[in-house]
């Protein structure tokens, strides 16, 4: 009997990039450079990587943004050589549904619609 699994994830932290303001948690944080790798496993031993994500992560709130491989390589080299990074390539658009599952997102949207309808009713009275 073989036990084959999919979805095991390893996280490699390459270090701090720069202290910058996070729009999500409203704190100054040392943003981290991460690489997440997904694996196919055999008997719980990771064998074959099937997906890699390069991320910039706020360690306080968990906010992250995916970056492309070219940007990742430049930032990784800068971190390894202890160079000063002047700008972090973040969009930092606040997404209130980030990190939520589909059920939670649907509930929050329904609550927002309910509040709007209630506000309309109170304004008409």
88 and 44: one domain?
A: yes
Domain that holds residue 116: 97-125
57 and 9: one domain?
A: yes
Q: Give the number of domains in the chain.
A: 2
pLDDT, tens only, 64-113: 888 889 889 988 988 888 887 777 777 766 666 766 788 988 999 999 99
> What is the C-alpha to C-alpha distance for residues 64 and 107, in angstroms, rounded to an integer?
23
34 phi/psi in degrees, rounded to 5: -125, 155
pLDDT, tens only, 12-62: 999 888 888 887 777 888 889 999 999 888 888 888 888 899 999 988 888
Q: What is the pTM of this model?
A: 0.63
Look at residue 125 in the predicted model and tell me its pLDDT. 67
């Amino acid at each position: 009997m073989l036990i084959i699994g999919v979805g095991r994830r390893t996280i490699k932290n390459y270090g701090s990039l720069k202290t910058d303001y996070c729009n999500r948690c409203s704190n100054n944080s040392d943003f981290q450079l991460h690489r997440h790798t997904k694996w196919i496993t055999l008997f719980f031993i990771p064998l074959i990587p099937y997906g890699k994500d390069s991320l910039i992560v706020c360690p306080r709130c968990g906010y992250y943004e995916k970056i492309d491989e070219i940007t990742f390589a430049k930032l990784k080299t800068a971190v390894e050589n202890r160079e000063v990074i002047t700008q972090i390539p973040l969009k930092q658009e606040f997404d209130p549904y980030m990190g939520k599952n589909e059920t939670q997102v649907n509930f929050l949207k329904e609550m927002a619609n309910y509040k709007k309808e209630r506000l309309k009713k109170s304004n008409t009275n």
